[in-house]
Structures are given as C-alpha cells and as structure tokens.
Structure 1
C-alpha cells in the first residue's frame, strides 16, 4: 500500500467525496485557485497509485503534511511508517525566528522557485533570453547526472516537464541561429533520456519512437556525436527487447558513423556491437570489436558529451562491464574471466564515484553470477546475485530484470539446478520480476 493511502485512511478518508473537502481547505490555505481534481483523478491516486500532476501536489502536501516522495512510497501491510512530517515533526525540530519550521520554509521556497522558473520561461515568449537558456542548462545537467543514480520514478515528471519546455521554446519562439542549435542539442539529450526511460519501463515501441525524435533533434543541432549516440540507443533498445540482429545492425551503423570521433561514443558503439554479436554466437566479432575498443581507449579525447557525463560518456569501468558481459553471453566461465567480472563489480562499488550507476552495478553482478555458474560455482553465483535480488522494487528496471532472468536460464541448464542452493536461487529469481518495474505509475 502507498503511504498516501495509509495516511488518508488514518484520517478516515476513503473516497473522492471524503477527499475533496480536505483538499479544498489545503488549497485555500495556500491561496491556490481552480485546482480541484476530478473525482476520476482522485480515484486514480487512491486506488491505482497514480502520482499526481505537479499542479495538485502543493495542496496534497499541505493537506497531509508529508512530501510527495514519501507519500508515494510503498509501505508493507501492517507496518507503521516512520516518515518525518514536514510540520510538527518534533519539539526539537529546527525553527526559524518566527517559529516557522525549516522544512516548511524549504517547501514554500521550492514552490516559489518553481513559480519563478515558470515566470522566466513565459517572460521570454517573444525571444528566448540567455537566462532561460541558463536555467535549462542547469536542469539538463542535473537530469543527466541523476538519471543513472536514482530510480526513474524520482525524476520522470521533471524529465518530461523539461523536455516539454524545450519543445515549446523550439515550436513557438523566435530564436537566434546559435540558440536554435543549442535548443536542439538540449532537446536531443532530453529525448534520449526519455527514450531510455521508456526502455527501462519495457515499452520498446515508445522508446524507439522517442529515440527517432532525439536523432532528428541531433541532426538539427548538427552534432555528429549525438547522432551516433542515438544509433547506440536504438541498439540498446533492441538488445533488451531480445532482437540481437537489430541490435547488431544499429550498433554497426553507429560505429561506422563514429569512426572519426575522438570521444567515447565510438567505444560504446563497439561495446554494443560486441554484446549483440555474443547473443548471435559470433565469437570472432566479439573479440574484434572489444579489441578495437581497447585500442581506441588509449587515443580518446573527451568531447562535450563526455563532459556532460551520465549516459553520455563511456567510462573505463563500463567498458570492462560490457566486455565481460559479451564473454558471459558466449557461455564462458574460466578463472581469468571470473577475476575480470569481479573487477567490473568492484568498478561500480562506490556510489560516490562520478561514473556510478545502479543499473551497471546490478548488470555486472548478474554477469559475475553467470560466469561463476558456468564455472560450476553455484554458491558463488548465489552470492554474486544476492544484492540484485535485494534491490527495492523502485530499482528493478527492465535491463536488471532481464539480466537476472539470464542467470535463471543458465541455472536451468546447469547440473546445479537440482542442488538445494540452485533450487532456492531459481525460485527467488522467478519471483524477482513479479512486482516490477516499480517505475512511474499510470
């Protein structure tokens, strides 16, 4: 059950009719007008767990006294949540001189910042100003940085809203040529992230459509690196959708386009090519692509995409992870490869690292489990995948679930399938995707 519903029921609120008077009182206290949600909308919040649109959130927070992220957190049945309320949290809570709690000041301040952002974007409706571009620069940089580090549900609304803001600027404003290229670059980056989000939610059709939008914006921005990057994303989508032939085609196409680039995008495309070739059983291509990527690593000159970071750079630890995964997909499991797989996991062991990503960590842990399993070490495989199976549902995206199911598939064809450890592990993996993916609701 969501904490939102738990908090409502604790106040005797169970229907839209019960909800509306309390909501209107909160909206009135905040001075909000014309923000009444429809009964069907309230039903979606209460019974289906849909997260409210941004316009409704301030009144809900005011009404229940908890932040939206806490309210839209699952709590086990029968448990007592221990979220700290935004007001009246404790007699010892930090307070401002006027007696207003610090958390309340932060909440109202955040609302003021959002209003100010909306004002600035609307103010430049005739001609895009430098302040507007700077605001969007900050937001794009933030979203790129947090995407690999936080569950999609935490950033999805902000990502869609920022993409919409950029699209509206491109569609309805007069912009200078230099601004047009910059806005198209931002649109391509944001569309890339939205496409990746749809892939994480296992909606490959939407993911591919949004990738084509990203590719179009990248072409309008005249940015060869971004254009090649969108070929890589098409390959990634096909890879996780179990279409290795398509994945190999798109990766090869992108690798050819990126052959003259000095940033890491070309290396990523070679890594994608190797992984797709591995599923196709083409061991010679796997080795050739990985060796070519290793040779090019020594000549890399970081470009603007690498400076952007996140999904737009291909760090050495990620290159090792991809290389190990290709070998695991070929069914290899010797000691040398096991050591490399352990090194790949170690590369993502520190969340403070700028290149840390929870998805890459989980993927490398699944690869280590596969390789240990192929080497006959079922106990070691169970130990390697344990952190993945313990991930909260908010982090179980499509790629992580598919990676875990690969371990189950390998276990089914292993002699260890009849061992007690193997049977328990298989049962756990089978249950792993049952509640997935805990991503944006509705």
Structure 2
C-alpha cells in the first residue's frame, strides 16, 4: 500500500456482482485500544487491513504488547509487558500524531498504569474536533493533565481513578469510549449520561463485559459501570463497516449497476437503508444481504406536505455524518432536489467544488449546507483531475468519477486507503476501470 498515489478512473461503465464490506474501521480503533486493559490475550477478528488500523496496531506493539498476526484480518494482542515510559519517547509521539484513534489509548493506560500521554492527534481535516470531552471526562474520574506547549503533548497522571457521575457535554463516540474504558477499572460506580450509543460503542461494551466488566444500559445514552480490579482476555469479531455499506449503495445508484452487498448485519444499520430509499434508491433485502437492482432513474422523495427533503446528520440513532458526502453525491443524478445539512462538522462540504466542476448542480449555502438539484441522468458528469481531502469525500469523488463520462484523476489517495481496504481491487472485481499509479 503506497503512502500516497493516484487513481486513474475511466467512468461510465455499469458494474455488477457481489461485494462484501470490510470490518468496521471505527469499531476496530476502539477494540484495539481496549486490548491494553488486560494482561491476557485478546483475539480480534474481521479487522480491516487499512492504514489507520495498522498504525494503531503498530502503536500498541511499540508500547510492548505482543502482536501475533494470525492472518490478514485476525490478530492476537497480549498487553502483558507494557513499557509505559515509551509514551514520552519521540518515536511514540511521532506515530501517535499520525492517527486520531491514538486518543483512545489514554484511558486503558491510565486505568492500568496511572499515566498516559497524547500528542495532538492527526486524521481527517474536517474542521475543529475538540478533545475537551475526553479530557474533562478523564479529569472527572480523577486524572490530572497538563499541556506541554513546546512539544504539543498532553500528559496525564492519576493516583487512582474513582467512579463519578458524568453528564457528557457532547455526544462523542470516541469520548464515550475513552470514559467507558477508564471507568471499568475505576473504584466504585460511574454513571455516564448523554453517552454515545453507536453500534460500535455497543460492541466495545459487550466485549468489556465478556472480559469481566460490569456495564448496564448498553445501547442507551445512560450507562452505569461498576469498577472491577482486573479484566481477562476474550475473543471479539468486528461488525461490517456501515460506511462501506452506504458507499456501495451510493455506487450502485450512481452507476446504474446491479450490485449485491453481502453479510451487512442489517439490524445494525439504523437509518442508513431508509435514508438512501428516500433518495429513490431501490433495495431488496435477502437474508442479511442488500441487493440494489440496476436503475436508470431514481427520484428523491419529498416531505409529506410536498416540501423539499432535508437530510441531516445526528448522533446515533440518527444518520451518521460519515455518509453525508455519499448521500450528496447520490442526489446529483436523482430526479428532484434535496438539502444536505451537515450539522456536526464544519468543513466536510468543501469538496463540492470538484463535483460542480464535473457538472453537478449544487449550491453551497454555507459551510454546513448544500442544495443539490438532481440531473436525473439527463447529462453525465465529466471526468476531471481532483484531490481527495479526507476519507469520506475521497470515496464520494471516486463514486462520482466512476459514474462520469471520460477519465478522472484522483490524487492523495492515501486518504482513501486510510479507511477503505484495497478499494480499487474490489471495485475492479465488479467491472470498474480503475488503476493505481
């Protein structure tokens, strides 16, 4: 896998066949971090083989955990002999800066060893993503922290975490995960109100319970956790990645293709299928598969009173912000109009200028809202040269390029590789004409 690179995409070809989503990226980052909570082995299955996940596994190995690669998607991590002083080394700081998931390593290290550090994390350039929820939550549980402005590092210490009542100031998935992982080894009871309740966080909680944690309220926004002295090993399997599933639904619609998405865990997808159905995408549910038949046209629904449909993101069980860019791209070739309202991040819509250059009819109202006037496939998009700004916008541009007439060039595909495993090879298996340079 290259550190950077380019996709050359010849668009305008219909695809067909079956595709299986990878394991969930966002779940994997939480689960790998949680392996540091125990000295016993934890077997993790259905891991996506992508940059962000592999970087976090390397980070855990750097701390001294024994990492056994069973196969490409299975790893056994034994965090028995952790060198907690390594967190202050230049090597750790350099590696942790490159991945936003490193923020979730703090809680396990604090819970087991009483100290941790965090360089300002990297990841997507999608606007300001505050760390306050993490820092204030850990502080409430009894951790002190200070910021070293010269090295851009947060340093954490505790004489022992203590259970408490926490009303989260925002519904942060990674913030909730950090607090949950800290609370399971804290003394006494922790109550977390306004907790995130995404399926991936539910998966983390269920894994911790198998390890011996005591957690009530899994799947709700009110969690009660009784601290325990130690956790044991376990086995865990990732859910399929719901963002990939939504991306493949969008790909089928835009290219007019007949695609079956296999083994999707339909009961864990929330509003995702219904939202794409409101954009006019037909879907058949066969067991645990989603079949999208080839459609020459699809029509955006209106509200019951005839008003223009609005799609907006919200914390789970709302529509995930990670699929807003895909929904926007799907609307380009629909019949009708839709307002896309990206509430949770302020810079995720700035990639639409590339779509406009391709021929899309989009009005960018402000950093949070865009109106899409569907082309109804009367005119195809045209291929252009562009750059991937972040993971989700990158795949949205790739979908647009596959539906376009002519050849597109997408640079900075490292951003796509961060979240999508071997995406070009898997799409070529469906008939896509895409090469990696």
TM-score if structure 1 supplies the norm length?
A: 0.38
Which has the larger share of helix? 1
Greater RCO (Cα-Cα under 8 Å, separation 6 or more): 2
Which has the larger share of strand? 2
